[in-house]
Amino acid sequence: MSVCPSCGSVRVYRDGFRYDGHGYAVQRWLCRDCGYRFSEKSYKECQTKGNRQLCAVLQEAKKLETATESKTVAGKIENKQLHDIKGRIVEFAFTLEKKGKSKETIRTYVGSLYTLMNKGANLLDSGNVEEVIAKQVSWSARAKRNYADWYSRFAKYLGMIWEKPEYKPPDKVPFIPLESEIDQLIAGSRKKLSIALQIAKETAARIGEILRLRWTDIDFEKSIIAINEPEKGSNSGIYKVSSDLITRISSLPRCSERIFGKSSIDSLTNMLTTTKRRLASSFCNPRLLQIHFHTLRHWKLTMYAHVIKDPFQVQMFARHKDMKSTMRYIHLEKVLYQTSDKDEWIVKTAKTVEEASDLVKVGFDYVMEIEGFKLFKKRK
């Protein structure tokens, strides 16, 4: 019995023949667990570090494969063709890994392809895929566009010519909660979730970037957090945060090189959903249900744009490479605060360094100096 040289699995099946220089046929095999292709002759030469690393990434694909086998409509895709499609998906995942794509990106592509297969799509027939996407009534235009984009990358890998359908989702205005609502959510959450939300509030970091934070990214003496593993092609950045947040981060157990250990986005998202429902019921405030991790990024960047009034500084704070992404928040700030908002601010004055320092510690921002007094403001 053949054994996969990459992961040691015995779940392998024959995958045709290859011929050596003398014309002899050599049996080829394909592992059903990690998707590695190997032949009997080169068995000892197939063990590579990259395949072992990608095995972990493809474990989820294996689960999706099992689901696909049970949901595929009989007669639409023959077993032989189905196996060929799955093999192509695995090869596609290896190609993405070689191009430097992150595990999260690879998982997204692989998961989307298996989702299309679960819907009955034949991935080798672009016309059929286009038809399946169009028939998904429960999918929004944004979801259809995303699946079309993901499949387009796979079709390009296969060398297929496919005119991608154009779905134009409406540009929805993001929900901007009150700071008091964010503080309620943070105060009512468990320790790990509460710290993650506070980091998002103060740095506008994405949840994936927060979970990638390492202990070496935190400067406990200067109260600085560095985002060194950004998402979506953003720049890296450093942020001055409150001393209270640094104290709370230092209270987390140091059982891993990452400050949140092995916590995943799914686990924290589920925890956040449960917390929102509980607090929305307790405070009779359904607006809390609209807050997600990315909502805090929208809120912070909008507030920062309102205070700073400089698009380039907002772009640096948001770590955007393209000013078009930043202008979304500039426009949002103008729409939300185009009218007089004098009642939305708490205004304080300070004459000494100690008074000014105390105001900054509780979140007040410096405005200007008049007649020897320094003016500070903070949104209610």
- Encode pLDDT of 70-108 as tens digits: 444 433 455 667 778 888 898 999 999 888 887 778 888
Residues 352 and 310 in one domain: no
> Residue 349: its pLDDT value, please?
87
24-38, 99-113, 170-184: which range is least confident on average?
24-38
Please check whether residue 68 lies inside any domain of the structure: no
Strand ranges in the chain using DSSP code E only, listed in sequence order: 12-19, 25-31, 37-39, 218-219, 224-227, 237-240, 345-350, 365-370, 373-379
> If you ran DSSP here, which 8-state letter would residue 288 be given?
G
Number of structural domains found in the chain: 3
| CATH number for the domain harbouring residue 299 | 1.10.443.10
Query: Are 220 and 260 contained in the same domain?
Result: yes
- Going 70 to 74 to 78 to 82, the CA torsion angle's sign is negative
Q: Percent of the chain, pLDDT > 70?
A: 83
**Residue 357 belongs to some domain of the structure:** yes
251 and 347, same structural domain?
A: no
Shared-domain flag, residues 285 and 347: no
pLDDT at 58: 56
State the pLDDT at residue 262: 87
- Indicate whether 65 belongs to any domain: no
Asked, for residue 162, whether it belongs to a domain, the answer is no
**In a shared domain, residues 311 and 354:** no
On whether both 210 and 305 belong to a single domain, the answer is yes
Assess whether 302 and 215 both reside in one domain. Answer: yes
Helix (H) / strand (E) containing 114: helix 103-118
Encode pLDDT of 318-350 as tens digits. 999 999 889 989 888 888 776 544 556 788 888
Instruction: Please say which residue of 275, 293, 323 terminates a domain.
Output: 323
Do 348 and 238 lie in one domain? The reply is: no
Q: Report the pLDDT averaged over residues 134-145.
A: 91
**Which residue range forms the structural domain that includes residue 360?**
342-379
Residue 316 and residue 184 share a domain? yes
Q: How confident is the model at residue 41 (pLDDT cuts 50, 70, 90)?
A: low
Are 202 and 305 in a shared domain?
A: yes
What's the angle, vertex CA 331, arms to CA 327 and CA 336, rounded to 5? 145
Q: Domain for residue 332, yes or no?
A: no
Do 355 and 316 sit in the same domain of this protein?
no
β-pair type (237-240, 224-227): antiparallel
Whole-angstrom CA distances from 171 to 150, 306, 328 are 20, 21, 10
* Residue 56 included in any domain: no
**Residue whose token pair is 């507030």:** 303
pLDDT over 70 at 266, yes or no:
yes
Q: Is residue 126 part of a domain?
A: no
Whether 193 is covered by a domain: the verdict is: yes
How far is the C-alpha of 314 from the C-alpha of 302, rounded, in Å? Answer: 9
Are 234 and 281 members of one domain?
yes
Nearest-angstrom CA–CA distance, 32 and 46? 16
